[in-house]
Structure 1
Amino acid sequence: MLKFLYLSDNKIDGRLPNWLHKIGPLHLLDLSHNQLKQSLDQVSWNQQLEYLDFSFNKISGGISSSICNASSIWYLNLSHNKLTGIIPQCLTNSSSLRVLDLQQNKLHGTLPSSFSKNCWLQILNLNDNVLKGSLPESLSNCRFLEGLSLANNQLEDAFPHWLQGLPDLRLLVLRANKLHGTIENLKTKQGFVSLVILDISSNNFSGPIPKVFIRKFQAMTNVVQDANGQYIGLFYRYRKEKNDYLTITTKSIVLTMEKIRKDFVSIDLSENRFEGEIPNVIGELQALRALNLSHNILSGTIPQSLGNLTNLESLDLSSNMFTGMIPTELTNLNFLEVLNLSNNHIVGAIPQGKQFNTFSNDSYMGNTELCGFPLTKECSKDLEQDSPPALPFKREHGYGFEWKPVALGYGCGMIFGMGIGCCVLLIGKPQWIVRIVT
């Protein structure tokens, strides 16, 4: 009896073939990357079905609750279609579902209000829909959750601090919603200990970047020496490769990735209203490969501790209110490929050497007081960053005189006195000198 059927990456068009319902209950059905246009109502859901992939088709209509008749399903991928309607509550009450990928559809309404206490979800991807409302705290029941991606929706809520207790959460992407408020210092000792990708960009978060919040990213402090073959997500029972597509922003480029290596560590807080200084503790996240803090209202100087991020490949601090000079410690970033410090109030000479010799004018535009290569504005000698600081003025014996001016005055007085003495010896006692003296 046929149990596994792979028909992905073909040119199957229109409806499912009628013979598909006559071959008996399948355990796995993969029809991804085709041109299917039918609705899900025409699919026969059976209890034996465990793996279903209809991604990258043109399936329309809603998701009926009858889908939960497939009570053994643990992988459900309906992404990149034209599905509408709401997400059935029964999907989040399933005790078998491990992967739910519904991204790139037109689903609306709110997120399911409750996730079962027996939740086994490991990957939940609802990117690029029209979902509204708040994030249900019952998501914290999904103790094995490894990746949560809700980007490009219309969710309105505060930062979900209650997710911090999930021990396996590696990926949290909340980009481009209507989330707001401050990110408070985490109240538990655990924090986001396994998190390696955090993207909360393009929201309305405000206030300072909490030091404690950053300090608890323990996985970001440990550099993975060899991550070949190690990816975020599941090692599927039926497939050695997974296709959970995720859109991320790195090196100023939006990328869609099929698989994300565990050593790809990224923080993106851009396009919010964060203020204050960059916490020095960010320099402890030595596994970071991409850091984006652009388009906020951050101020103060760029911390020297960023020079400790020796694995960093992309650094974007543009469109803030940073002042002071560019720390020379940033020249230690040997893997830095993208640097953007534009549109700030940075002054002085641009550090030279190593990666800094490869960046163009675009990295520094909008900082009128910067000078040096690659800019055409040359630095005056007193602005050279490498020049030693002037020594403090020293007073000797409590007086405001140095030995050089004293010696000069003494010498001039001696010469003048010797001249007067010669006059007296040659012409006697001149009356004009007597008058001056007496």
Structure 2
Amino acid sequence: MRGHVIGLDLSGNCLEANLTTNSSLFHLKKLQSLNLAYNDFSYPNLSFGFDRWKSLTYLNLSYSVSGFNHWKSLNYVDLSAYMNSPHLFDEIVLLPKLVSLDLSDNYGLLLDNIKFQILVHNLTELRFLVLDYLNMSLVVPSSLLNLTSSLKHLSLRSCNLQGNFPSQVFQLSSLQLLDLSNNSYLGDNLSESNLSSTLEYLNLDGCQFYGSIPDVFEKMHKLTHLSLFNNSFDGEIPTSIFNLANLTYLRLSSNKLRGPLPRNISGLSFLLEFRMDNNFIVGPVPSWLFSLPSLFYLDLKNNKLTGPIDHVEIPNLILQETYLSNNEISGFGNLKTVDLRFNVLQGSLPIPSTTWDSMQQLFISGNKLTGEIPSSYCNLTSLGVLDLANNSLGGKIPECLGNLSNLVFLDLRMNKFHGRIPNSFVNMNTLRTLNLNGNQLEGILPRSLVNCSKLEILDVGNNNLNDTFPDWLGVLQSLKVLILRSNGFHGAINNSMPAFYFHQLRIIDVAQNDFMDLLPSNYFKILNGMRNVTSVDKLEYIGVEQCTSDKQDIGNQCYPNNEQKGKPIRCTPRLCPPEEGPQFYYEDYVEVVVKGFKRKLVRILEIFTTIDFSSNQFHGPIPEELGELNLLRGLNLSHNSLTRQIPSSLGKLAELESLDLSSNKLEGGIPEQLTNLTFLSVLHLSHNKLVGHIPEGKQFSTFSNDSYIGNSGLCGFPLTKNCHEEEEPGAPPKFDEEDESATLFEWKFALAGYGCGLVLGLSLGYIAFTTGKPWWVVKKVEKYQQKLIGRCNQRHKKRKTQKPNQHC
């Protein structure tokens, strides 16, 4: 079969070998494709035999060594790391059918002008040529004119090329990718060039081009990536660049470009990143920059932009990073949405002006803002989203924020707010998410929250609140997430709530508080959001409107990655067409403990359900009712004082992935029914009083000792303690009706002899040992032993001894 192998891929195997002409590899005479990249082949003295592989069309030797010159019919070769070969280029030029050649990332590998000319002269079938990071300092740039006109992919990044670059290369009729970045070209030849209309990727970063950028982009309809970073281009930016319909990445940073940005454009609808920093751009910031539907990164810092950012309407803005520093921008105009998340903004929050009257969405999270929230923010009556999370804001939360009847999302987490939570939430408000996690808030939960009939997510974790369990929140029929973690909540949880309370709850986290008494069994009965819900056909998120069949989905469109080298694809949010009223898009964020680790949930799946009652003062049994929550995925009752046995009903939690009952006072054995939990990946039963054999099979075969430590009575895999091994000397006596070990019987007989007659005990022990441990002997001995002990006790009672059993 060796003669019929046409493709072989051994890349990334760290192979080390001396490949010689008698290697079995060279017997694959019909080989067409060979990939030996990312290996470490040494370079021996080879006997050349190029005519053996006349069918070979693909060869990849990147990040290896040279010496592979046996494939005369090659049309692809990648020799990225073959820096040790003195004959490398002599061998390659003997492959006239080569279509693709990659010698990149060989720092120090020298390609002189003569060898380069021979290479491009002989390899007339080349379509892909990549020579990144080779030393081509001796190559005259004019030699590039010999490249075949059918070349599609040319990459000469960081090759130390010098001199005037021939403009004719830009005009190769088939060229799709051209990367000449980080070389030492000189001249303004680019201004005299006509760029090929077939280009899709053009990177001229870090060269020394100067002069104006030619206005030749109107025919380049296929261009998706344009980067001219760190050159000396001057003059105005050609307007044709801004009309490129398929452009996803545009970088003109660190040049000497002047003039204003155009006021109107017809393209850039797919643009993801726009970088124009460190130039001399003047004039106002055009409103279209904030209206590009796919833009998520904008950098205009260090220019001379002026005036307010005005007249922007962006209901579905996905812009995540915006850099406008070191300009002369005076403020914002009639904006409806401002998204400045994850920048380096410092100082106080901007004071709203009359131009903010129509503001609907304000995102300034992830900055370094300080000070208080100005009370004038309460005048923004159209505001639907206020996201100030992850700053250093302090003071008290303005009471009047609760009067904003149109507010849908209020996110103030991870700041330094103190005092009480406002108790001014008005009737008929639209609040859906209230996140105050990670502040220094005090007092009780405001009872006016019952007016928030649409509230789905309430997160007040990690504060200093001091209150009882807010069972009154159960009337909120939309509530799905309740996080009270790490506060001073205390007392018992009401066990007699109405059946319709907390009907939709998916996540409840009351860990690290001071709750006490029994776990509320009736409360677990009413959590219908964790039971009896049919499985969904698609992933749905809390708070994100899902398009039904009678609505046209206008989102969920993915665009090509901007670097085309492994960056993640970005998609627009999945939204439905606007209906009545303003439309908002906001990704909810909560932090919960999942499988023992803190997890940040950005957008919360409807099917994610968890109960965390850990680190409180609950006592008594675990309610059987928990076993009815058949959609529960995480259950954490650790670090309490729970007693009695683990209920076997937990074995019905078919979706359970994590179970933590550690650090309690649970007794008895581990129910065999828990082996039915086929999705269980995390189990913590450590530091209890569990005894007996650890269940075997299914998921239980995957758990380690850590799941069971601190339970001296447990035995079996994965513990080293065998359930049938002899007791160690001095160990406390144990009796198991199913244990037939001779040692156990001998010990019981010795006890009988010690208390009530040594001769009788030794005799019976001998009989039991020699006759196979008969059960009738055991029963008779125990019955007789009890009679003797009873008589002994009666005697000592008559003598008025305080501890009669001590002598019996």
Q: Which of the five TM-score ranges fits, normalised by the shorter chain?
A: 0.7 to 0.9
Partner of 2:472: 162
Q: Helix, strand or coil for the counterpart of 2:401?
A: helix
Cα 1:20–1:228 shift into 2, 3 Å: farther
Q: Helix, strand or coil for the counterpart of 1:307?
A: helix
Q: Helix, strand or coil for the counterpart of 1:29?
A: strand
Deviations 1:152-173 (A, max 9, x none): 0000000001001111100000
Larger radius of gyration: 2
Q: 2:410 aligns with which of 76, 100, 117?
A: 100
Aligned partner of 2:459: which letter?
S
Cα 1:177–1:126 shift into 2, 3 Å: same
Is 1:341 the equivalent of 2:652?
Answer: no
Q: Helix, strand or coil for the counterpart of 2:644?
A: strand
Q: Tell me if structure 2 keeps the 8 A contact 1:348–1:384.
A: no
Is 1:320 the equivalent of 2:664?
Answer: yes
Q: Tell me if structure 2 keeps the 8 A contact 1:287–1:309.
A: yes
Give the gaps of 5 or more residues in structure 2.
Answer: 1-310, 546-574, 727-733, 740-774, 777-808
Partner of 1:26: 335
Alpha-carbon distance in 1 for matches of 2:735, 2:503:
42
Partner of 1:183: 493
Cα 1:239–1:335 shift into 2, 3 Å: farther
Q: How far 1:240 sits from its partner (Å)?
A: 8.7
Alignment of 1:170-319 (within 5 A): 170-226=480-536, 228-235=538-545, 242-319=586-663
Deviations 1:271-319 (A, max 9, x none): 0000100110100000000000000000000000000001000000000
Q: How far 1:19 sits from its partner (Å)?
A: 4.2
| Larger mean Cα displacement after TM superposition, 230-239 or 366-375 | 230-239
Cα 1:16–1:39 shift into 2, 3 Å: farther
Alpha-carbon distance in 1 for matches of 2:404, 2:589:
23
Q: Tell me if structure 1 keeps the 8 A contact 2:428–2:453.
A: no
Alpha-carbon distance in 2 for matches of 1:11, 1:78:
16
Partner of 2:348: 39
Q: 1:116 aligns with which of 423, 426, 446?
A: 426
Q: How far 1:174 sits from its partner (Å)?
A: 0.4
Partner of 2:323: 12
Alpha-carbon distance in 1 for matches of 2:313, 2:735:
72
Q: How far 1:57 sits from its partner (Å)?
A: 1.0
Aligned partner of 1:198: which letter?
I
Q: How far 1:38 sits from its partner (Å)?
A: 2.9
Partner of 1:89: 399
Partner of 2:713: 369
Aligned partner of 2:658: which letter?
S
Alignment of 1:414-429 (within 5 A): none
Q: Helix, strand or coil for the counterpart of 1:118?
A: coil
Aligned partner of 2:339: which letter?
D
Q: Helix, strand or coil for the counterpart of 2:498?
A: coil
Cα 1:16–1:363 shift into 2, 3 Å: farther
Alpha-carbon distance in 1 for matches of 2:513, 2:649:
27
Cα 1:39–1:16 shift into 2, 3 Å: farther
Q: 1:352 aligns with which of 683, 696, 717?
A: 696
Give the gaps of 5 or more residues in structure 1.
Answer: 389-403, 406-438
Alpha-carbon distance in 2 for matches of 1:183, 1:259:
29
Alpha-carbon distance in 2 for matches of 1:148, 1:133:
16
Q: Tell me if structure 2 keeps the 8 A contact 1:7–1:32.
A: no
Q: Helix, strand or coil for the counterpart of 1:321?
A: coil
Q: Tell me if structure 2 keeps the 8 A contact 1:13–1:35.
A: no
Deviations 1:342-395 (A, max 9, x none): 00000000000000000000000000110000000000289999x79xxxxxxx
Alpha-carbon distance in 2 for matches of 1:357, 1:223:
30
Q: How far 1:44 sits from its partner (Å)?
A: 3.5
Alpha-carbon distance in 2 for matches of 1:30, 1:16:
18
Structure 1 length-normalised TM: 0.83
Alpha-carbon distance in 2 for matches of 1:15, 1:190:
56
Aligned partner of 1:195: which letter?
L
Cα 1:283–1:149 shift into 2, 3 Å: same
Q: Helix, strand or coil for the counterpart of 2:630?
A: coil
Structure 2 length-normalised TM: 0.46
Aligned partner of 1:122: which letter?
R
Partner of 1:132: 442
Alpha-carbon distance in 2 for matches of 1:351, 1:232:
37
Q: 1:64 aligns with which of 374, 391, 406?
A: 374
Q: Give the root-mean-square deviation of aligned CA atoms.
A: 2.6
Deviations 1:24-74 (A, max 9, x none): 311111111111113114454622000111111111110011012211001
